[in-house]
Amino acid sequence: MQEMVNVYFYGKKYSVPADLTIMTAMEYAGYTLNRGCGCRHGFCGACATIYRVRGKNELKTCLACQTQVVDGMYIASIPFFPTDKRTYDIEQIKPTEQIMMELYPEIYSCIGCNACTKACTQDLDVMQYIAYAQRGDFEACAEESFDCVSCGCCSTRCPAGISHPMVGLLARRLTGKYIAPETKHLKKRVEEVREGAYDELIEQIMEKPIAEMKELYNTREIER
């Protein structure tokens, strides 16, 4: 006999198999998901969900695709949250302390309640990466926020109205473009290709008969 549990989607009770995730339990209950469902494997943040287990006071946030159902769960999905992304020209901005002040000044209104960190579905130290951003330490902010899937659960809980995923994203783009060391071998190769250094060689290999290509492929040296 399959073990069943009772869960409540938007307050309505359904009996579902205990080994399902919240997402597959909704489908078992009969929902055809349109919003609130994306990659189904924990990478896209589409299925941000809020729940409370009956008898417990704590309000929890999670990704519906990565969380197993528990008996007595009261569940509501958050298919959209009005996160506030500011637009900018990546070519024009620079990784200076002022840029955060200009684009996301509300981060300086953080009251240190740590609700964002508690809400994070990826167990990131969200308040810490906001602190790094305040200080203009974009590299640390980028590193700390790297695993963010932009589900927005942090922002739903923030009394200062901060759009944390957007702050992390800005820090990462600044780090990737301006702070990380330049890759000389990449620049060199791009230049070589542009100058036509491989044009003749690629033409030659494209024209080789299949038998010769097989021989070349099967005997090619593999870097250890």
Residues of span 88-147 touching another protein by CB under 8 A: 88-90, 122-123, 142, 146-147
* Torsion over CA: 29, 71, 24, 147 (sign): positive
- Binding another protein (rule: CB under 8 A), the pick from 149, 151, 154, 162 is 149
Dihedrals phi, psi of 60, to nearest 5 degrees? -115, 155
Query: To the nearest whole angstrom, how small is the minimum distance from the Cβ of residue 165 to another protein?
Result: 9
Does residue 51 contact residue 76 with C-beta atoms inside 8 Å? yes
Per-position x/- string for 167-186, each x denoting binding to another protein as judged by CB under 8 A, each - no binding: --x--xxxxxx--xxxxxxx
- Binding another protein (rule: CB under 8 A), the pick from 5, 9, 21, 99 is 21
- Binding another protein (rule: CB under 8 A), the pick from 5, 7, 46, 130 is 46
Closer residue to another protein in complex, CB, 23/107: 23
Q: Which residues of 5-21 are buried (b: 16+ CB within 10 A; e: fewer)?
A: bebbbeeeebebeeebb
The structure tokens 């008969």 sit at 209
Closer residue to another protein in complex, CB, 25/110: 25
Closer residue to another protein in complex, CB, 88/113: 88
* Residue 133 identity (one-letter amino acid): A
Query: To the nearest whole angstrom, how small is the minimum distance from the Cβ of residue 7 to another protein?
Result: 14
Whole-angstrom distance, CA of residue 154 vs CA of residue 142: 16
- Binding another protein (rule: CB under 8 A), the pick from 1, 12, 41, 82 is 41
- Binding another protein (rule: CB under 8 A), the pick from 8, 38, 52, 137 is 38
The alpha carbons of the chain give a radius of gyration, in whole angstroms, of 24
Whole-angstrom distance, CA of residue 181 vs CA of residue 220: 33
